[in-house]
């Protein structure tokens, strides 16, 4: 909700697409459901696959390995009039699928699988309770909210020939996804919640009884842990150089600065200037630590000068 509100302040968002559930259980119960897109069969196939991955724990049910690519497998083979319904389907790696061949799961030595197949996936609804709560709060914003399934997201992404990444999955949520998504040259901004400080109101002793005052927010030399700083360490020091990164303050004044390449220890806070105050999130662009535009330009220029 925080990020929906922040983004709305900066760009004109007209509608929201939310991936509400992993798969559409409605679709699994009545495969002859009407509607043009479902008639094509493809989308329903993705829903079934997502359902099976969840139900069988992304594991080959015969050799119990999880690292191999999995195939949807008929416990009673189709050649022996086995049903296409989900209760007859399980997951198998290619080798096990081949070895099982024309046998039923019981004949192959796994009689317990067929009963397990008939048990519905009970937890599916519970798992999604948080997403439903989010859905109701998104609706309260007054924007049109569309929901999609994980199966639909994957189907949309594969149809458009896009690689599997979180941000491209996000672009593929819902039925409103455009037929073509132009993604070349777009670098996602990765935002991680890092927290500001401890929220604990009372610290406890070793028995769990409240004892000490909460940890105070420490400001050392005008900097706070998490601030983006530029440290210019003079030549006479061992750590001479310019560093841009997140600071972790120490009461002694000797701080750590985490740059794109690693953490530099023992930089005194008097050499540091805050560029951006910590807001409880860290930002990364294309896997690099995010720098404000001017900083990035300055760095590029300096690198060019070095090469020249």
Interface residues toward Zn ion, by CB under 5 A: 60, 62-63, 93, 96
Taking the complex as a whole, how short is the minimal distance between the CB of residue 82 and Zn ion, in angstroms? 19
Taking the complex as a whole, how short is the minimal distance between the CB of residue 94 and Zn ion, in angstroms? 8
Indicate the residue among 110 and 155 with the shorter CB distance to Zn ion: 110
Taking the complex as a whole, how short is the minimal distance between the CB of residue 93 and Zn ion, in angstroms? 3
Helix (H) or strand (E) holding 59: none
CB contact set of 260 (below 8 Å; sequence gap of 6+): 245, 288, 289
Indicate the residue among 64 and 78 with the shorter CB distance to Zn ion: 64
Taking the complex as a whole, how short is the minimal distance between the CB of residue 76 and Zn ion, in angstroms? 18
Interstrand relation of 16-21 and 145-149 (parallel, antiparallel or unpaired): parallel
What is the CB neighbour count within 10 angstroms for residue 55?
20
Indicate the residue among 98 and 211 with the shorter CB distance to Zn ion: 98
294 vs 278, 285, 301, CA distance in Å?
A: 18, 15, 11
Indicate the residue among 87 and 108 with the shorter CB distance to Zn ion: 108
> The tokens of 125 are what?
């609804």
Backbone φ and ψ for 169, nearest 5 degrees, come out as: -60, -40
127 vs 54, 123, 133, 281, CA distance in Å?
A: 11, 6, 12, 26
Taking the complex as a whole, how short is the minimal distance between the CB of residue 51 and Zn ion, in angstroms? 20
Indicate the residue among 93 and 113 with the shorter CB distance to Zn ion: 93
How does DSSP assign 154-170, residue by residue? Answer: HHHHHHTT----HHHHH
Residues 51 and 193: their CA atoms lie apart, in Å, by 30
Indicate the residue among 93 and 168 with the shorter CB distance to Zn ion: 93
């Amino acid at each position: 909700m925080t990020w929906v509100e922040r983004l709305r302040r900066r760009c004109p968002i007209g509608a929201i697409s939310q991936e509400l559930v992993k798969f559409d259980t409605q679709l699994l119960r009545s495969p002859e459901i009407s509607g043009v897109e479902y008639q094509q069969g493809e989308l329903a196939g993705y829903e079934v696959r997502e359902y099976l991955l969840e139900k069988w724990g992304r594991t080959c049910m015969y050799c119990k390995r999880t690292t191999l690519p999995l195939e949807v497998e008929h416990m009673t083979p189709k050649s022996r009039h086995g049903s296409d319904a989900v209760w007859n389907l399980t997951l198998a790696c290619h080798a096990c699928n081949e070895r099982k061949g024309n046998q039923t799961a019981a004949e192959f030595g796994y009689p317990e699988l067929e009963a397990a197949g008939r048990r519905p996936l009970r937890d599916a609804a519970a798992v999604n309770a948080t997403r439903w709560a989010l859905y109701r709060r998104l609706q309260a914003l007054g924007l049109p909210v569309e929901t999609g399934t994980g199966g639909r997201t994957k189907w949309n992404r594969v149809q458009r020939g896009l690689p599997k990444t979180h941000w491209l999955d996000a672009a593929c949520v819902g039925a409103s996804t455009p037929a073509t998504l132009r993604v070349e040259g777009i670098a996602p901004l990765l935002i991680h919640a890092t927290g500001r400080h401890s929220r604990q109101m009372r610290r406890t002793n070793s028995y769990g009884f409240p004892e000490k005052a909460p940890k105070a927010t420490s400001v050392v030399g005008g900097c706070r842990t998490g601030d983006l700083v530029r440290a210019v360490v003079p030549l006479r020091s061992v750590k001479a150089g310019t560093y841009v990164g997140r600071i972790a303050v120490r009461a002694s004044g000797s701080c750590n600065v985490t740059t794109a390449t690693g953490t530099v220890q023992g930089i005194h806070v008097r050499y540091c200037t805050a560029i951006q105050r910590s807001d409880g999130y860290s930002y990364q662009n294309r896997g690099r630590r995010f720098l404000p535009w001017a900083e990035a330009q300055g760095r590029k220029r300096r690198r060019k000068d070095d090469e020249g």
